[in-house]
Chains A and B, each alone.
Chain A
Amino acid sequence: MSPIMQAALTILIGVGGCVGYFYLSNQFLDRVLYPAKGQNAGRNINRANAIRPWLFLFPAIFALTLYLAYPVFETLRLSLTDRSLGGAFVGLDNYTQMAHDPKFWEALRNNFLWLLIVPAASTAFGLLAAQLTDRISWGNIAKSLIFMPMAISFVGAAVIFKLVYDARPEDVAQIGILNAVYLQLGGDSPITWLTVPFWNNIFLIIVLIWIQTGFAMVILSAALRGIPEETIEAAIVDGANPFQIFFKIKVPQIAGTIVVVWTTITIVVLKVFDIVFAMTNGQWETQVLANYMYDKLFRANDWGVGSAAAMVIMILVLPILVWNVYNARREMR
C-alpha cells in the first residue's frame, strides 16, 4: 500500500475512530448503562454525569500516560540497569561511567554555555525588536521578517548558516558571507569557523538565537502594548527621557512576561539537538547533552548511559517544570 493511501486511511481510521468512540461511548452511557428514564432517572443522570468527563478524557490520558509519563519512569529504570547483562540492576554504574567520560563533561559545559547565552540574547534582541517595531509604520513587516525563522526547521537553519560560515581556500572567492566580511575587514586568511574550539559553540548558538528572537519579540511586543498609557504619560510629564521610560517604566511592568519567555527558551535550549547534529555532530568540542544522548543510544547502542544522559536533561528541566506547575495552580485558585 502506498504511504499516501496509508496516510489517508489513517486519517479516516483515526478521525473516525475518535468520533466513533466519543459518540458511541456517550450513547452507551446515556441509553444503556444509566438511561435517564424509569424509576432511577434522577440518580442515573447524576451517575452518567460523573462518568462522562472520564469518557471525554480517556484517550488523552491514555496517550499522555503511555507516551510521556511512563517513559520518564522507564528511562529512570533503564538508567539503573545494564542491557548487556540482560537488564540487570546495576545501581549508579551508568552514571559513574558517564561521569568518567570527558565527552559528557564537554556536553554539560557547552549546555551551560547555551543556557547562559541563548535565553539572554534572544530575550534582549526580542525586547529590542519589539520596542523598535512597535513605533514605526512598517513595523508589522519588520516583525514578520524577524519572526520568520520560527517557521524554518532547525535543520534548514543549519543549512542556511552553514553557507554563512562557509570557508574556501584563500586564493578563490569566498562564498560564505562571514569570511567575506572578515577578509574585507582585514583578516589574513579565511577561517573554518565551525572547527575552532570554543568559538564554534558561539557560532552554533547564534543559529538558535536567530530562531528564538522572533518568539521573544512577539510575546514581549504584546506585553509592551498591554502597559497602561498613563504610566508612560506620567513619566514623560515628569521629564523622563526615552531610555529611562524604557528601562524604568516599561521593563519592570513586563518583568513577569520576560521570565516566561526566558524559561520557555531555556526549555528549548535544553533539548537542542538538530542544530548540533546537522552542523558539527558534536565534533570539535561542540557536543551538547541531547546529541551526546543520541550518540550513546543509537550509535554506541548503550541504553544505560544514554538513559542516564536523558535523566540529566530531565533533572535540568525539573526546576522549570515545578515552577510552571506551581504558577498554574496559583492562577487557578
Chain B
Amino acid sequence: MDHIAGRKSGLSWAVHFSAMALVIVWVLPTLGLLVSSFRTTDQIRSSGWWAALFPAVQNETYRTADPDEARVDLGDGVFLVAGNIFVESGAAANLDDIAKEIMAWGASSRAIDAYQPDEVADLGEGETLSVTARGDYEWRGTADQIEGRGARIFVTVSAPPDFTIGNYRNVLFDPSNREGMSKAFFNTLTVTIPATIIPILIAAFAAYALAWMEFPGRALLIAAIVGLLVVPLQLALIPLLKLHNDIGIGKGYLGVWLAHTGFGLPLAIYLLRNYMVGLPREVIENARVDGASEFQIFTRIILPLSFPALASFAIFQFLWTWNDLLVAMVFLIDSSGETTVMTRQLVEMMGTRGGDWEILATSAFVSIAVPLVVFFSLQRYLVRGLLAGSVK
C-alpha cells in the first residue's frame, strides 16, 4: 500500500496546483473588469489593470511655484522659492496626504532621472535646485535667475495602488450622465420581478396537475413540455411581435412580461413537476381521505413542501430575465429608448464609447452585481435546480 499512498501525495500536489491554475484562469477576466472599474481614466490609459495591484512607477512633470509671487529674498542677492510639488499641483491635499515617493528626478526633459532625492542640482552660475523624496523643493539663485515662470521638475515616482469609487458615483448618481445606467437599472428590475413571479404561479398549478392528477393525455402533455423546453425562442420573435401589435400591446412592459412568462413556463413546469412527483404519496392521499379539496391540498401541502424547487426556478428565471438582451430588444425597447435595459445600454456603450473603459467597466459591473449577489447567496438552490433539470 505504500506504493499507492506515495503516488497519492505526489498527485495531490499536482491536483492542488492544477485546480489553482484553473480557478485563476476563470477568475482573471472578471477580476480585470472589477479592478478597472475602480481606476481613473488616466490610470486605465497608462497601464494594464494588473499593474494597479502593485505600486506603479511613472514619470510625471511638475513646475515650481511662480517666482514672481513666491520668491523670498534671503539677502545677499540670493532668492529662494520653496514648496512641495505634489501639494501645489493638487495631486495631494496637504503634506500628510502625499502617497507618492520620488525615486529620481531631473531638471531637464533630456535627463529626467539625473538626480537622486535630496541631491542638489547645480543649474549653472550658482543657481541650484533640490528635491526631496516627498516632493519638497528648494530653488535658489540670483534675482535674474529666479524669475519668469517656475522651474520644471521631472520626477520618476512610485505611486501606491490607488483606487477610486468616482466611476460608480458617475455612472449611478450623476444626473448629467447620458448613459442613464440608473434608469436602465430600474427598468431591468421592472422587467424582472413580474416576469419571475407570474410564471411560477401558473407553472405550479400545472405541475401539480401533471404530477398528482389522473387524466387522459397526461403523458402526452409531459412529452410536449419536454419538447417545448428546447424550442429556440428565436422562432417566437416575429409571430409574437405581430400578435402584440395586433391586439394593441405593442412594445412595452406588458409585452415583455408576457413573453418571459411564456418562454419560462416549460422549464418551470418541468422542474416543479419533477420535484412534486417525488413528494410522499401518503401525505397527499391522507389529505384526500380527510376530505381536503384538490385546491386545498395544493395550497396547504404541495406549495409549502415544494419550496426548494420554487426557489430554484425563481433564481433561474430571475437570472435569465435580468441577463436577457434579445427578448427586451424585440418586445420592450421602442425607438424612444425610455424603457431601455442594462444589457442593451452596455451594448450601445460598447459601440459608441468602446475606449472609455472606466464607464464601460463600471456599467458592466453595476449590471452584473445583482446576479452575482443572488448567485453567491442562493447557490445551493441553483445547483439543486440544475441537477433536477438536467440529470434524469
Contacts and interface: CB of A to CB of B under 8 A. Distances in A.
B313 to A, nearest CB: 13
Contact of B206 (A57, A71, A174): A57
Contacts of A306: 238
A159 B221 contact: no
A164 B361 CA distance: 12
B337 interface: no
B249 interface: no
A22 B302 CA distance: 15
B48 A174 contact: yes
A63 to B, nearest CB: 5
A273 B324 CA distance: 11
A317 B232 contact: yes
Contact of A56 (B11, B208, B346, B350): B208
B360 A159 contact: yes
A332 B222 contact: yes
B177 interface: no
A14 B19 CA distance: 47
Contact of A215 (B265, B350, B386): B386
Contact of B22 (A129, A150, A270, A310): A129
Secondary structure call for the A interface: helix
Contacts of A174: 48
Contact of B36 (A153, A163, A317): A163
B33 interface: yes
B219 A329 contact: yes
A151 B319 contact: yes
A74 to B, nearest CB: 4
B205 to A, nearest CB: 5
With most chain B CB atoms within 10 A of its CB, the pick from A14, A61, A260, A303 is A14
A326 to B, nearest CB: 9
B80 interface: no
Counting contact residues on chain A (CB < 8 A from B), the size range is 35 or more
A151 B357 contact: no
A6 interface: yes
Interface string A114-146: 000000000001001100110110010010111
B201 interface: yes
Interface string B290-312: 00011100100000000000000
B16 A136 contact: yes
Contacts of A148: 26-27, 30, 372, 375-376
B226 A324 contact: yes
B213 interface: yes
Interface in B232-249: 232-240, 242-243
Interface in B1-59: 4, 7, 11-12, 15-16, 18-19, 22-23, 26-30, 32-33, 36, 44-51
A250 interface: no
Given A78-B239, A153-B322, A175-B44, A59 B19 contact: no
A54 B239 CA distance: 26
B197 interface: yes
Interface string A283-326: 00000001001100110000100110011011001001100110
B367 A325 contact: no
28 contacts: A3-B190, A7-B253, A14-B198, A14-B201, A53-B215, A59-B202, A63-B261, A71-B240, A129-B19, A136-B15, A142-B23, A145-B26, A148-B375, A150-B319, A150-B375, A151-B372, A152-B30, A152-B323, A152-B368, A152-B372, A153-B367, A153-B368, A164-B29, A166-B357, A180-B48, A260-B392, A317-B230, A324-B229
Given A18-B198, A293-B234, 13 more contacts: A56-B213, A57-B210, A63-B202, A67-B236, A71-B237, A75-B238, A145-B26, A148-B27, A152-B30, A156-B343, A156-B346, A161-B29, A278-B350
CB-based closest 8 A-B pairs: A67-B262, A153-B323, A60-B206, A151-B375, A74-B239, A56-B209, A71-B236, A71-B239
